Structure 1
Amino acid sequence: MEVVIDAPGRLAVLAADAVASLVRRRPDAVLGLATGSSPLALYDELVARHRAGLSFAQVRGFLLDEYVGLPPGHPESYRAVIDRQLTSRVDLAPDAVQGPDGGAADLPAACAAYEAALRAAGGVDLQVLGVGTDGHLAFNEPGSSLASRTRVKTLTAQTRRDNARFFGDDPEAVPRHVLTQGLGTILEARHLVLVATGRAKAEAVHQLVEGPVSALWPASVLQLHPHVSVLVDEAAASRLQLAGYYREAWAGKPGWQGL
């Protein structure tokens, strides 16, 4: 696991460098796309790269999760959100991004179909991630199996409060159930890039990087992956006990290696 501590704008540039390098090497790369606040600056940077000539025309994308029960076209469905944040702003094909079907009549079947689609695509080359204040990864809440696959999950009250800002600041308007990639599914991506900013994420970042691997902090499962980049600002890094080492290691890294 590599930890980079820098200003938020610089973190977005580093993450975009990783995505751009991948897409140039493999124009048909598979990207895992997260929603929420954490990746916004990254997506803005990718849009700027696209306007400067980077093409996503052959890229495919998979969403981490989706709310259950939102009506088609709801502005806070993650299909709509990723369209606003990225898809409609670059040259991704209209059907290039898939998400789990939160409106399916048979939700377990929809989860199985999504796992099959990920396998058929050859897996995710680079997965963008954020982390919740309680350490949830995608919508794998505390207590989730570290080997879990795409499935239905019930959101905690904390997560619904955190997401209420997208639903008129009303936690009761946030759906109680979601479909989410499992922790085991996420670990199959070849490169994981997690972005976290702000003091509210500091304890979660400390636990995922330096705590024990535990279902109590689901994001700690990332310690088991061979290629994880954790990009955090000073506030999110404020609980890290080895922050000095992470800064030294990053400063001394050969520039050609990238993330």
Structure 2
Amino acid sequence: MEVLVLPTPAEVARRAAEVVVDGLVGAGRPEPVLGLATGSSPLGLYAELANAVAAGRLDLTHARGFALDEYVGLTPGHPQSYREVLLREVCAPLGLPPERLHVPDGSGVDEAALVAGAAAYERLLEGAGGVDVQILGIGANGHLGFNEPGSALSSRTRVKRLSDRTRADNARFFDGTEEVPTHCVTQGLGTVLDARRLLLVASGVAKAEAVAAALEGPLSASCPASVLQWHADAVAVLDEDAARLLRNRHYYDASAAGLAERHTRSSKAW
């Protein structure tokens, strides 16, 4: 795992955007697949990706976007449904065609319909050839997507109940906690691990404990984000506050400095 610590959230966003562009361009596919997270963590990243599109360094015209999760039970067009959020924050500014955005179906009228929709989403991901770069945030309780603590590390897309902690944290987007849905459809941890590159973005003191548990704690269902340790190409881009509890910080910084130096020498060779 590569751990990069930057001084500010703005620098985190810029460096994370480089990781995404490198992963999508390096995939060399005519229709690259970008895994999309919602919430506050990736907002700066999406703004930087929009700058990359404007500068001609990234073209998502033929890309496909796959969301990590969706609430169950929101009315069509609800402003806090993740489809609507991604239409605003990704499709419009990044030039990703709306018809190429895929979101888990949370509109099922009963459990059977929701389960069938989750299975269909897994098939759609497989049919697209898998995710090239999966953008991830992390919950204060260590959740990844909406995989709450206790989620099976090999889980696939499915219906999940949201924890009280997650609903309280997300209440800021609604008119109070009681308005936050109690259930969701989320990619499973096993589904997330199928992506070719994982990118975790985290800023702020509130994420420090979860980040430390995910990156340096045991691989455990108690901290779903710890599955990043199991991935061959996982990158965590953090600000100082989010990284404040990391025990191996000196090693991460030294490793990052070495990579930067080699990159500079390689660039000069050209």
Q: Same fold (TM over 0.5)?
A: yes
Quote the offset at 1:19 in angstroms.
Answer: 2.2
Gaps of 5+ in 2: none
* Structure 2 counterpart of 1:12, one-letter code: A
* Structure 2 counterpart of 1:38, one-letter code: S
Structure 1 match to 2:165: 158
Q: Partners in 2 of 1:115 and 1:137 — Cα distance?
A: 17
Secondary structure of the structure 1 residue equivalent to 2:99: coil
Query: What are the within-5 Å matches in structure 2 for residues 145-224 of structure 1?
Result: 145-168=152-175, 170-224=176-230
- How large is the Cα RMSD of the aligned pairs? 1.4
* Structure 2 counterpart of 1:145, one-letter code: A
Task: Give the helix-richer structure, 1 or 2.
Answer: 2
Tell me if structure 1 keeps the 8 A contact 2:24–2:34.
no
Q: Which moved more, 1:81-90 or 1:139-148?
A: 81-90
* Structure 2 counterpart of 1:42, one-letter code: L
Q: Partners in 2 of 1:230 and 1:50 — Cα distance?
A: 23
Quote the offset at 1:23 in angstroms.
Answer: 3.8
Q: In the alignment, is residue 8 of structure 1 matched against residue 20 of structure 2? A: no
Q: Partners in 1 of 2:24 and 2:218 — Cα distance?
A: 34
Q: In the alignment, is residue 85 of structure 1 matched against residue 89 of structure 2? A: yes
Gaps of 5+ in 1: none
Q: Partners in 1 of 2:43 and 2:234 — Cα distance?
A: 19
Q: Residues 41 and 27 of structure 1: is their aligned pair in 2 closer, same or farther, counting only changes over 3 Å?
A: farther
Secondary structure of the structure 1 residue equivalent to 2:11: helix
* Structure 2 counterpart of 1:10, one-letter code: E
* Structure 1 counterpart of 2:178, one-letter code: E
User: What per-residue deviation string (whole Å, max 9, x for no partner) do you get for residues 190-214 of structure 1?
Assistant: 0000000000000100001100011
Structure 1 match to 2:101: 97
Secondary structure of the structure 2 residue equivalent to 1:185: helix
Identity of aligned residues (%): 54
User: What per-residue deviation string (whole Å, max 9, x for no partner) do you get for residues 108-140 of structure 1?
Assistant: 000000000000001000000000000000000
Secondary structure of the structure 1 residue equivalent to 2:160: strand
Tell me if structure 2 keeps the 8 A contact 1:23–1:56.
no
* Structure 2 counterpart of 1:255, one-letter code: H
User: What per-residue deviation string (whole Å, max 9, x for no partner) do you get for residues 63-99 of structure 1?
Assistant: 0000000000000000000111111112212211101
Q: Partners in 1 of 2:163 and 2:147 — Cα distance?
A: 10
Structure 1 match to 2:54: 51
Tell me if structure 1 keeps the 8 A contact 2:24–2:132.
no
Question: How many residues align structurally?
Answer: 257
Quote the offset at 1:27 in angstroms.
Answer: 4.3
Tell me if structure 2 keeps the 8 A contact 1:27–1:56.
no
Quote the offset at 1:18 in angstroms.
Answer: 2.3
> Runs of 4+ in structure 1 displaced over 4 angstroms?
none
Q: Which moved more, 1:113-122 or 1:17-26?
A: 17-26
Q: Partners in 2 of 1:40 and 1:212 — Cα distance?
A: 29
Q: Partners in 1 of 2:50 and 2:184 — Cα distance?
A: 28
Q: Partners in 2 of 1:21 and 1:211 — Cα distance?
A: 28
Q: Partners in 2 of 1:195 and 1:27 — Cα distance?
A: 26
